[in-house]
Amino acid sequence: MVFQATYTLTDLRVLLRETAPRHEFSPDQKAEIQRLLENLERQVASLKQEMLR
C-alpha cells in the first residue's frame, strides 16, 4: 500500500510536468486528477488501518 500511494502521487507529479508552467488542466486531465486523488484517499485510509491498528 505504501508503494500504491507513492505511485499515485507519482502519476500526479507527471501531470504537473505535462502542464508546466501554467498547470491549466483539460477536462480529461481534471477527471484523471479526481480519480487519482480518490485512489490516494483510499490508499491512505488503508495505510492508517494497517499501520495504526
Partner 1 sequence: MRCGMGIEARQVNELFINIDPIQAGGKLTADAMKAVIAYGDGYSVCDNCRKPNRLDYISKPPIAAFHKDLADWLNMDAVRTVPGARRGFQAVAQTYVGKGDPVLLTSLSHYTEFLAVEESGGIAREIPADERKMITADAAAEKIEDIRRETGKVPVLAFIDHVDYQYGNMHDIRAIAKVTQQYDIPILYNGAYTVGILPVDGKTLGVDFVVGSGHKSMAAPAPSGVLAATAERAAEVFRTTSIVGDVTNRKFGIKEPEMMGCTLMGATLVGMMASFPHVKERVKHFDRELENNRRVVDALLSIGGTQLLSEYPRKHTMTRVDTTGSFDTVAETHKKRGYYLSSALEEKGITGVIPGATKVWKFNTYGTTRVQAGYLADAFTAIARENGLSVKE
| Under 8 Å between Cβ of 5 and 40 | yes
Q: Is 21 in the site for partner 1 (CB under 8 A)?
A: yes
User: Which cell numbers in the block locate residue 19?
Assistant: 502542464
How many residues of this chain bind partner 1 (CB under 8 A)?
14
CB of 46 to partner 1, least distance (A): 18
Rounded to whole angstroms, the Cα distance separating 30 from 37 reads 10
Residue that is written with C-alpha cell 479526481 in the block: 34
Q: Is 11 in the site for partner 1 (CB under 8 A)?
A: yes
What are the residues binding partner 1 (CB under 8 A)? Answer: 3, 6-7, 10-11, 13-14, 16-22
